[in-house]
Structure 1
Amino acid sequence: MTDTAPTQVPSPAAADQFSGGPGAVTGKTPTPTAGRSRRFGGAWLATLPLIAFFLVGFGLPATAIVIGAFTTSSDAPDGGGSFTTANLTHSLQGAYATSLWGSVKLSALTALLGTALGLPLAQAVVTSRFRMLRESVLAGSGVLANFGGVPLAFMFVATLGNSGELTKQFALTKHGWSLYTFTGLSVVYLYFLIPLMILTITPALEGLRVQWREAAANNGATTLQYWRYVALPILLPSLLGGFVLLFGSAFAAYATADAMVGSSIPLVSLQIADALSGNVLVGQGNVAMALGLDMIVVACLVMAVYLPLQRRSAKWLS
């Protein structure tokens, strides 16, 4: 009696492959490039509404500012519309240059203080064991970061103004305090810049890994050494990003300063408002456009420093 091997019946799928049926192997497989092209094409289509909104909301005003900065205004002797660089020249001279420098100083100082004060507060929130406290602080920061304008100015005038409650209670005027100075305006700006910094830096603090602190402790590093040699170098790009955001918020602020100090403190945003309202010399109506272009240039220079560092930080925190 001889053994015979069992006959193997090919499965329907295998039969289809040999017979050219539905499961047949045709030798044509989708390439990775084709898949990526389809994904990128769909992504671009999904972002078209955002791109259109950006072009309308930011592109058109920016184009109008650039055109206005390099053309004569309608009240010029030639009727307006002629190419000129006089607007930019005037925007960098005299009171306009003083206001631009004043805005840069105020924004840099308040952004630096907001970054320095917001970091430890955000760290306290991140490391807190009380979830209710953390959520309350973050929710409150979201509200305070967007609280500004005339209501904020009125609140500080009623509290720390010449006749404010705290001013009278502690006799602050006798100690040289005045809300309507550069220092007073800086304090007002910190009211919304510090909460904004807490919201900005909290995700980066959450990205610090526990293993890094443990490794530093195992190698004998103190808490101060860990922050100096490990945490702060990693957080530096994020801190600079928060500084840039705070700088931009303070640089563009208008309503709070206008309602509180008026023109007693030279700021470029107030100068633009005066120029748009007609408080300029004849033929210099487009100086406001040149001042706006100066602000755009300052913002672009600050962003040019921030973006390369942000990419470096993302590699560590990802």
Structure 2
Amino acid sequence: MNLRKINPLTLIAALLPLMLLIVLFELLPTAAMVMNSFLSDDGKQVTLQQYVTAVTNAFYVKAITNSLLISFYSSVVGIVLSLALAYAITRTSEATRTAVLTVSNMTSNFAGLPLAFAYIILLGNNGVFTILLKSWGWSLFDGFNLYSWTGLALVYVYFQVPLGALLLYPTFHGIREQWREAAALLGAGTLHFWRRIALPVLLPGIAGTFTILFANAMGAYATGYALVGGNYNLLAIRIGALVAGNVVTRPQLGCALAVLLGLMMVLAMWVNERLMRKVRRDLQ
């Protein structure tokens, strides 16, 4: 079909539902959130007080720090395991590859409340595996607490790995078998091939996937809320409590924290783009 022969009005009419969806469910809520973040608690004055509170109050600074740390650590562990899984997928048969990709696709979407409850049933204080291992006399999980930072990081890694594998799997297909054969003919060993040829090809995909995993962990709300509730101070949980809390609500402050959360994600993507641009320039 030649798009040049299509009436421009027809194209605009076809794109209108998508444009309307973007405006109603993305642009307008974002604009309202930004505007509310500059209002006082009573909503009558324009002020920067909400942002001042967000970056000076020790309670909210701790929430930002905790979210950054758990997002970073879970993304690092997730990217390492995802690399191994994605590479293993490329070395298997077609049937095994299809099965693993199908399972990875399902597990990457298994998050939120169902994931938290599944971990509570399996590894909680009275979980199936916890009681079973104790009955066998195993001390593998002695001192392990699912409702702590360690348990939360474990749950985060669970939904990071399949997502990372799905994103990195196409990247490994960019490494052609002919390159490996040509490198071997020129006397390059396996380590030299991966360091000089494969890694530069994979690096942009790895960095991009890490950014996505980091943003995915920063924005996770339901899993952390169901697992630790208010016992662990996370930015997403604090935003939810301020906007729809049971005791005291401060939606304007919640909007300011949400804007800061969005800016941190944008900053992470910008840093990733700058680094990848430098890498591509150095490789040329």
TM-score interval, smaller chain = 0.7 to 0.9
In terms of fraction of residues, the more helix-rich structure is: 2
Q: How far apart are residue 37 of structure 1 and its match?
A: 7.6
Q: How far apart are residue 41 of structure 1 and its match?
A: 5.8
**Residue by residue, what CA displacement relative to the aligned partner does 1:54-98 show, whole Å, maximum 9, x if unpaired?**
22221111111110111123xx2xxx2321000011111211111
Rounded to whole Å, the distance in 2 between the matches of 1:225 and 1:264 is 48
- Percent of pairs with identical residues: 35
2:237 corresponds to which residue?
A: 270
Rounded to whole Å, the distance in 2 between the matches of 1:161 and 1:104 is 25
2:87 equivalent to 1:123: yes
Q: 1:43 to 1:139 in 2, by over 3 A?
A: farther
**Residue by residue, what CA displacement relative to the aligned partner does 1:188-225 show, whole Å, maximum 9, x if unpaired?**
11111100011101111112122221222122222222
1:166 corresponds to which residue?
A: 129
**Which amino acid counterpart does residue 297 of structure 1 have in structure 2?**
L
Q: How far apart are residue 307 of structure 1 and its match?
A: 3.4
Q: TM-score, normalised by structure 2?
A: 0.87
Rounded to whole Å, the distance in 2 between the matches of 1:200 and 1:176 is 35
Rounded to whole Å, the distance in 2 between the matches of 1:260 and 1:281 is 22
Whether the 8 Å contact between 1:235 and 1:313 is mirrored in structure 2 is no
Rounded to whole Å, the distance in 2 between the matches of 1:295 and 1:163 is 35
Q: 1:38 to 1:304 in 2, by over 3 A?
A: farther
Is the deviation greater in 155-164 or in 300-309?
Answer: 300-309
Matches within 5 A, 1:1-318: 45=12, 47-73=15-41, 76=42, 80-92=43-55, 93-128=57-92, 130-171=93-134, 172=139, 175-278=142-245, 284-308=250-274
Q: How far apart are residue 242 of structure 1 and its match?
A: 0.7
The unaligned stretches of length 5 or more in structure 2 are none
**Residue by residue, what CA displacement relative to the aligned partner does 1:19-41 show, whole Å, maximum 9, x if unpaired?**
xxxxxxxxxxxxxxxx9987996
**Which amino acid counterpart does residue 197 of structure 1 have in structure 2?**
G
**Which amino acid counterpart does residue 223 of structure 2 have in structure 1?**
T
Max Rg structure? 1
Q: 1:135 to 1:173 in 2, by over 3 A?
A: closer
1:19 corresponds to which residue?
A: none
**Which amino acid counterpart does residue 273 of structure 2 have in structure 1?**
L
Q: 1:131 to 1:88 in 2, by over 3 A?
A: same
Q: How far apart are residue 47 of structure 1 and its match?
A: 4.6
Q: TM-score, normalised by structure 1?
A: 0.78
Rounded to whole Å, the distance in 2 between the matches of 1:123 and 1:47 is 39
Aligned Cα RMSD in Å? 2.8
Q: 1:209 to 1:165 in 2, by over 3 A?
A: same
The unaligned stretches of length 5 or more in structure 1 are 1-34
Q: 1:169 to 1:36 in 2, by over 3 A?
A: closer
Whether the 8 Å contact between 2:33 and 2:255 is mirrored in structure 1 is yes
Q: 1:40 to 1:139 in 2, by over 3 A?
A: farther
Aligned residues: 274
Q: 1:309 to 1:55 in 2, by over 3 A?
A: farther
Whether the 8 Å contact between 2:90 and 2:172 is mirrored in structure 1 is yes
Rounded to whole Å, the distance in 2 between the matches of 1:211 and 1:43 is 46
